[in-house]
A and B are shown apart, each in its own frame.
Chain A
């Protein structure tokens, strides 16, 4: 156990050094959600105020948080894939480490960076006049929801990092999943305004439950049934991904 901690900690520290020393990458990852918040929020304010009732930026912020979480988590495995390609990972595997430490350390690093980004988005939201109905406790709850959503998606990404042939495929998968999955949820528009078939997909999209819960925390207040539903759906999603991920990777990390 002490050894597992030592090797996981070492790998986690390395990922954190990367985060610290790649400020541009971090800045550009943040640019996309910021643009969405400022421009999309501004552009649709007039159109949307009737259907969402009130400030569209406040309405949009949870959607952008969910998009940030999804984007960051699904991209989380990419460095591992690059290191599979350039030989760094193989060298790592020649060390007497538990293979799980490779996944755990990357998982932690991805989620720490996601939390940082979510916090930044929240601060930015506050600067643009978004008020969070549930206050400081709500901010904490928003981060917990982000983490619950990020967990399962990060697991998917780690599986892809080991199962896909090359990083080109990875980017293709990311490209065709991120935006459609976000649109097929309640991230940008109320579910009721979606066509029936999209609503059906959105109803089984975990992102919908995360966004709805976040939105209630920001716009209205503590909504226990909604939070409970979100917790059940996301925990089930995370558990399912974890179970599938273990199965998918057991052979690759023997």
Chain B
């Protein structure tokens, strides 16, 4: 049995617990808003908070750390209690919560990419794992809540930032060989991008289709040749 690797390079473990709490609170308030009961709040808090880390360990083929270290479960349960009793307050403080979520996303992306690299995977798979770890929680939340996932719909700038953050971490790590430094840089970069995106109302658009543009380009070209 390989030893359990938490994926934290040098940042203390409580940063991960905090990320779980932030994700869990977001999941719990979502459940409270949708009118779910106690079990619904608990389930959504646990899946949203722990989903990414759980999926990481499943993908890397080892025993999930969130089941080995009880503090993870308790963090998610704490988040559920907070969300169950104080959903109204939390909804009023949505801006600070958004900032916390941005920090958590950067942390999770770097932790995911880093643990994939240490499991001996290549750069491209590490980027994918980082993106999955950072975004799986909200994705599970929306699927369980019966919504089309917010991550995939045009509008909120989320998945692209997670993807770019993971790629940036893998690049910086290969360049500087200093995981902690690259991790901190990426967390700050992700946080800054997310906050700027929210403040200046950047939105993703539905995807473009280049076929028409290429078609008109070709037809114009052939006409001018004629």
Asked if A and B bind, the verdict is: no
